[in-house]
A and B are shown apart, each in its own frame.
Chain A
Amino acid sequence: MNQTLNDAELDTFPKLMLSHAQLRPDRDAIREKDLGIWQSWTWAQVAVEVRALACGLASLGLARGDKLAIIGDNRPRLYWAMCAAQSLGAVPVPLYQDAVADEVAYVLDNADVKIALVEDQEQVDKILEIKDRCPKIEHIIFDEIRGLRDYQQDYLHDFEKVQAAGREFDHDNPEFYQTQVDSFSGEDIAIILYTSGTTGDPKGVVLTNNNVIITARNGIIREGLSADEEVLAYLPMAWVGDNLFSYAQSYVAGFCVSCPESGETVGQDLREIGPTYYFAPPRIYENMLTQVMIRMEDASKLKRQAFHYFMDHARKVGVRILNGETVSLKQSLLYRLGNLLVYGPLKNVLGLSRTRLAYTAGEAIGPEIFDFYRSLGINIKQLYGQTECMVFICVQPDGEVFADTVGTPAIDVEIRVDDNGEILYRSPGVFDSYYKNPESTASTKTEDGWVRTGDAGYFDDNNGHLKIIDRARDVGKLNDGTLFAPKYIENKLKFFSFIKEAVLFGNERDYSTAFINIDLDAVGNWAERRNLAYSGYIDLAGQQEVFQLIKDCIDKVNRDLSQETHLANSQIRRFLILHKELDADDGELTRTLKVRRSFVADRYDSLINALYSDQSECHVCTEVIFEDGRSGMLEADVKISEAEFYPVKAASREAAA
C-alpha cells in the first residue's frame, strides 16, 4: 500500500514532496513537452528545483503568510512555485492566465500579493500596466525570458536567476530549507483560490493544507487511485479542479502529471500521454463526440456502416458491461469484436484508451453524450463540487451512474437539505474563510461548519443519490408546501424544439401554470409540412393544432415530473401560449436573453389571473415597441387549457406503506 497516502505526519505539500523524493526518487513526477519532446523530472529532481526556488524566493523576502501570485499556462515551474511558496509558509494565489488587466489588478490588490511569478512577456506586460494600482507588489519573476531581455526594471527577475540566488542562499544557510518545511503544519494556509464570481467581485477562498490534503486523499481512496496514474494538466491553474487533480492528488498519491506543449496541442498531447485519470467539463466531451461524428460522415461507406452497427450494439449492452452486469454470450462476443474493430481504435484516437476514471462536472451533461462514452467502456462519472470544499461534495459510485443525479456524498462529507430545498454540506475540506471578507464568510458558512451551496436539490428516493434542480434563490413552494423549481421545469420544456421559452408560475399558489413561447422556426416548419397556413407568430400561436402540439409536450413533462417524488405536485395544471414572443426590447428578457420573471408577471397580470381561474380564454392588449422605436398595441384572444395531471407515483407508494 502506498505509504505516503496513510501518513498523517505528511500534512503539507513540501513534506509530501520530500517523502516522494525518498520513496520513489527515480519515478517521474512531472513532464512537459518542449521542443517536440517530452521532458521529465523525477521526484528527486523536483525536490531539488523546488528547494532552489524556495530559497530564492526567501532571499527576495517571501516569508510566512506572504502571497505569491502565479499566472500562466500549466508549466512545471509554476507548479513548483506553489510548493516552493508552501515550503516557506507563504500562500500561492493562482490567477486565470487570460484574465484582463483589471481583473488581475483586483485580485493582486485584494490578495495583498507581494511577489508575482508569471509565465512570459504577455503576463509581465499585463502586470506592469497595472503596477501603479498594486503598490504591494515588490517583485515580478518570469519563466520565459523571450521578449524581456531589454526590460530594465530592477524588480523583474528571471526564474533561473532566482533559483541560482536560491542555491547560493542554500549553500550559506544549509539548515534553512528543512527548518522552514518542518515548521509548518496542516493548519497553515495552503492556497487561496479566487472564485470567478458571476455576481460581484471575485472572492478569495482560503484553504488550509488539511482542507486540501484530506480531501485529495479521500478522493484517491474512494476511487482506488495509485502512484501509477497518468494525468494531463490542461485546465487553468487558477481553477480548483486543476489544483486538486494536477497538484494535490499528484503530491498525495505520487503520480505523474504531464503539461501540454501549448493550448492548441492539447488534443495531440492527450493522445500521446493516454491519461488513466481525466477530468473535462461537459463541453469538451461534447466537442470530442462532434468531431467523431463529423469524421464518420466523411468516412467510406463500409467504415460508416461498421461504426453505426457496432455503436448501436454498444448502446444496447456497453453500459451494462461497464456496470458489471451479465449479458448473453452472443452479446458479449459481439461487444468484444466491436472493441477490436471500432471501440478500441476510437478510444485511441480520443486519447482515452487507458482511461480508468473520467470525471465531468460544472453543468449538466447531455444523457446521450454521457451514454456514448460509457457504452465505449469509458468510466465517465459526474461529480458535484465547489471551490469552498476543494471540489468533492458528491461523486457517482461505480456502477451507479445516472445522467440526472450527481451521486452519493464523498468520504467524510455530510449533506443536509434545508427547508427551502437548499443543499448544505460539512466536510474536512470546508474552507477556512473568504479572504478579508467576513460578511460573505458568515453568510455562506454557519458557525458549526455547514456551507450553503446556493443550489437546491434533494436525495432521490429510489437510489439515494443527490439531485440538483436549480439555484436555491429561484426555488419556491406551492401552497401545499411542496417544492417548486421553475427553472428545472422550464428547462425540461425548452428541451422540446417547438418550445422556445417557458415561464412558470406557482410560488405561493395552489398549483403551477405556464406561459409558453413557441419556436417560430420549428413550429412553422412543422405547420408547413401539415399544410397549415399562417401569417405570423400570433396567428400560428393561436391555431388549435399548435395548441395540441404544445399540450402534448407539456403532458410529457408532467409524466416525467410525476416520477419524481419531490416535484410531482408541481406538474403544470394550466397553460397558455403567449400571443407575442418575449423580447429584450420590451424589457421582458435581459440582454443575455434570460427571462425577467417578475417583470413578465407584472406585465401579463391579467393572463396570470386567468390561469388561476376557470376561464378558457382571455382577451389581452399589450403595448409593444417595434425595432424602429415606435410603439403599438397588440390585441389577441389567448386560449387557456388544462394539461394532463398524472397520479403521483411515490405518494401512492407511501400510502400503501
Chain B
Amino acid sequence: MIDKHNDDVILAVDNISLSFGVMKVLDNISFDIKRGEIRSIIGPNGAGKSSMLNVINGFYHPQQGSITFKGNTRKAMAPHQAASQGIARTFQNIALFKGMSTLDNIMTGRNLKMKTNLFWQALHIGPARAEELENREAAERIIDFLDIQAIRKKPVGKLPYGLQKRVELGRALAAEPDLLLLDEPMAGMNSEEKEDMSRFIIDVNTQFGTTIALIEHDMSVVMDLSDRVLVLDYGQQLADGPPHEVRANQDVIDAYLGVPHE
C-alpha cells in the first residue's frame, strides 16, 4: 500500500512558459506530482494539456522555467532521456506498430530494459537468451494484467480501438515507469471500455505503485480517479487541488459552462 499523503514530490514543474511564435501555449505554469498519486490535468480543447505532457517527457522545450524529476532539475532534455529516467507515456492518437502483434508491441516497450548488445542478440546465445526470456515473461505478466491473452498474436492494426488503447498502455507499462503519462486514455471509448480502462488505471496505481499523470475529458472519470486535479485554460493555470475543490471552483465552472453575457 502506498502512502498518497506524503510530501515526496516525484516531479515539480516551475514557472514553465512555452510559445510557438506569438502563440503562448503555456504561461507560467507551476505544479507538482507526488509519488504514488493519480494527478489529472483537465481543461477545454486547446488549453495546453497535451503540450504540458510533451514538455514533461522532453518533446517540447519550454522557453522558460524548469522541471525537476526525481531530484534532478533540467531545462531541456530529449524524449529518450526522459524514457530512460523512468517516464513512459501513451498518446492521444494511438502510436503503435500496426503490423506487429500485441506481444511484439509490448516487447518494444522493454527495449530500454535490454542490456546486451546487438552482437549477442543476433546470435541469441548466452546472456541475450536469458534476457529475452526474462523480458518475455515481463511482457506476459502485462498481457495477463490487462487481460489481453486472446489477442497476444494478433496484428495490432486489426484490433478494435478500445483494445489498441489497452495495448498502448501495456507497452508503456512494459518500461516499468516511475511516472506514467496518459494522454486521453478513454477518448472514443464506450462506457464499458471506459470502466475497464479506469479499473486498469487504478490497478496500475495500487499494484505497481506507479505515479500517473492523466489527461482526460470525461469529467466523471477524472473526478473518480484523481487524487488532485490541475485545470488549464488557454495556457493559464486556472485551479489546482483535490477533485471536490476543483469542482466547486467558480473559474472552472465558468471555463467549462461559459459565462453569460451581461
Decide whether A and B are members of one complex: yes
A residues apposed to B, CB below 8 Å: 33-37, 146-147, 149-150, 261-262, 264-265, 268
The binding surface of chain B is classed by DSSP as helix
A149 touches B150 (CB 8 A): no
> Chain B nearest CB: distance from A260 CB in Å?
9
Partner of B206, one of A36, A37, A149, A261: A149
Classify the interface of chain A: helix, strand, loop or mixed.
Answer: loop
Query: Chain A: which residue is nearest B147 at the CB level?
Result: A262
Interface residues on B, range: 10 to 19
Residue numbers in A under 8 Å from B152 (CB-CB)? 36
In the complex, what's the smallest C-beta–C-beta distance from B72 to chain A, in angstroms?
31
Q: Known contacts A35-B144, A150-B1; is A262 also within 8 Å of B149 by CB? A: yes
B residues apposed to A, CB below 8 Å: 1, 137, 140-141, 143-145, 147, 149-150, 152, 199, 202-203, 206-207
Given the complex, which residues of A lie within 8 Å of B1, measured CB to CB?
149-150
Distance in angstroms between the alpha carbons of A265 and B149 in the assembled complex: 7
Q: List 5 A-B contacts (CB under 8 A).
A: A33-B149, A35-B143, A146-B145, A146-B207, A149-B206
Is there contact, CB below 8 Å, between B140 and A35? yes
Known pairs A36-B140, A37-B140, A147-B207; list 20 more (Cβ under 8 Å). Answer: A34-B144, A35-B137, A35-B140, A35-B141, A35-B143, A36-B143, A36-B149, A36-B152, A146-B145, A146-B203, A146-B207, A147-B199, A149-B1, A150-B206, A261-B149, A261-B150, A262-B150, A264-B150, A265-B149, A268-B150
Q: How far is the CA of A265 from the CA of B152 in the complex (A)?
A: 10
Count how many pairs of residues, one from A and one from B, have CB atoms less than 8 Å apart in the complex. 35
Q: Give Cα distance in the complex from A502 to B48, angstroms.
A: 66
**B202 to A, closest residue via Cβ:** A147
Interface centre among B1, B141, B149 (most CB of A within 10 A): B149
When chains A and B are docked, how far (Å) is the Cα of A34 from the Cα of B147?
Answer: 11
Q: Inside 8 A of B199's CB, which chain A residues have their CB? A: 147
Chain A's closest residue to B140 (CB) is: A35
Q: Chain A's nearest CB lies how many Å from the CB of B206?
A: 6
Residues of A within 8 A of B144 (CB): 34-35
User: Contacts of A265 on B, CB cut-off 8 Å?
Assistant: 149-150
CA distance A265 to B143 in the complex (A): 13
Q: Report chain B residues within 8 Å CB of A33.
A: 149
For A35, the chain B residues whose CB sits under 8 A away are 137, 140-141, 143-144
Residue of A nearest to B137 (CB): A35
A150 contacts which chain B residues (CB < 8 A)?
A: 1, 206
Using Cβ atoms and an 8 Å threshold, which residues of chain B touch A36?
140, 143, 149, 152
Instruction: Look across to chain B and name the residue whose beta carbon is closest to the beta carbon of A122.
Output: B199
Q: From residue B92, how far is it (CB to closest CB) to chain A in Å?
A: 27
Residue in chain B with minimal CB distance to A147? B203
Q: Which residue of A lies closest to B153 (CB)?
A: A268
Chain B's nearest CB lies how many Å from the CB of A148? 10
Complex: A639 Cα to B179 Cα, angstroms: 80
Whether A264 pairs with B149 at a CB distance below 8 angstroms is yes
Complex-state Cα separation, A35 to B202, whole angstroms: 22
Residues of A within 8 A of B203 (CB): 146-147
Nearest-CB residue, chain B, relative to A36: B140
Q: Closest Cβ of chain B: how far from A264's Cβ, in Å?
A: 4
Q: Give the residues in chain A near B140, CB-CB below 8 Å.
A: 35-37
Rounded to whole angstroms, the CA-CA distance of A150 and B140 in the bound complex is: 24
Measured CA separation A234–B39 after assembly (Å):
41
A37 CA to B202 CA in the complex, in Å?
27
Q: Kindly state the separation between the CA atoms of A33 and B137 in the bound complex, as whole angstroms.
A: 13
Nearest first, the 9 closest Cβ-Cβ pairs linking A and B are A264-B150, A35-B140, A261-B149, A265-B150, A36-B140, A262-B149, A265-B149, A147-B203, A35-B144
- Once bound together, how far apart are the Cα atoms of A265 and B147, in whole Å? 11
